[in-house]
Amino acid sequence: MTEFQVFGDWMKGVQSTMEDALASFLPSAAQTPTRLHEAMRYAVLDGGKRVRPLLVFAAGDLFGAGTDLLARAAAAVEMIHAYSLVHDDMPCMDDDELRRGKATVHVKYDEATALLVGDALQTQAFLVLSEGGHIEDAARAVAMMRLLAQASGSVGMCGGQAIDLASVGLNLSLGELEQMHRLKTGALLRASVLLGAMAGKSLRDEEVAALDAYSSAIGLAFQVIDDVLDATADSATLGKTAGKDAADHKPTYVSILGLEQSRALAEQLRTDAHKALMPFGENARRLRDIADLIVQRKA
């Protein structure tokens, strides 16, 4: 069996574990208010590559974390991610009708329900991460919740989205574009890596620095490839509306650098991610595999 096949089996195992975990951590659709709970489950389950949970589990494997805490941390990150997609797709933001190959939540239900789904998923994420008596070290538990809060708030994901909305039609510099995406996309990817690592142990400064360098590289690479795919793939392949960034006059890596230079940048960022993991040796192979997955993905 090749290393790629081994990684593929591991990835499918994590994705299956996460589908079960998310289904158990979300409120039942039979529980009142049933429509809201049904919509929350619709937004989260049966879709997506689960890149953030993969990062949580890969970093957790590196630092010997237990499966229960990893599942909770990964579910919390994925709920934050799902809530952001629900809100991003609404008419007041990106106004999209397709996500993960199916109707967006505000189309399937209505705008008010979509707004509440995002609100509820955000709070559910912290509920899941805080429950279960799974961390003996209370200070580390608080640090993990603080990390997730910062990554998803105004100095992280939400801040990046605010900059994105304010940048429509503007000619951003490459540095300004990178700053936007370090917040909008990179902050939650970084949190995924660090939450997985923190689930295993308290981290030394040099370990945090190495993981930060890795996270920074894959965070930008993820967005570069997103921009390339938006310009080159079709909606059926992507599971969302293709070509929307150009149609909405959004600044992207492709609009600034062009396709070939964008692809070259993604490859350089993959190299940077691999270099950042060198202090961990072969034990970091899953994190390296995910860097490869991010850059080589077709959807």
Predicted confidence pLDDT, tens digits, the chain (299 residues): 455 559 999 999 999 999 999 999 999 999 999 999 999 999 999 978 999 999 999 999 999 999 999 999 999 999 999 999 999 999 999 999 999 889 999 999 999 999 999 999 999 999 999 986 666 678 888 999 999 999 999 999 999 999 999 999 898 999 999 999 999 999 999 999 999 999 998 899 999 999 999 999 999 999 999 999 999 988 877 877 777 777 778 899 999 999 999 999 999 999 999 999 999 999 999 999 999 999 999 88
Q: Hey, what domains does the chain have and what are their CATH numbers?
A: 3-296 (1.10.600.10)
What's the pTM value of the predicted model, to 2 decimals?
Answer: 0.94
- In this prediction, residue 184 carries a pLDDT of 95
- In this prediction, residue 1 carries a pLDDT of 40
Q: Which of 156, 151, 176, 168 is nearest to 77 (CA)?
A: 151
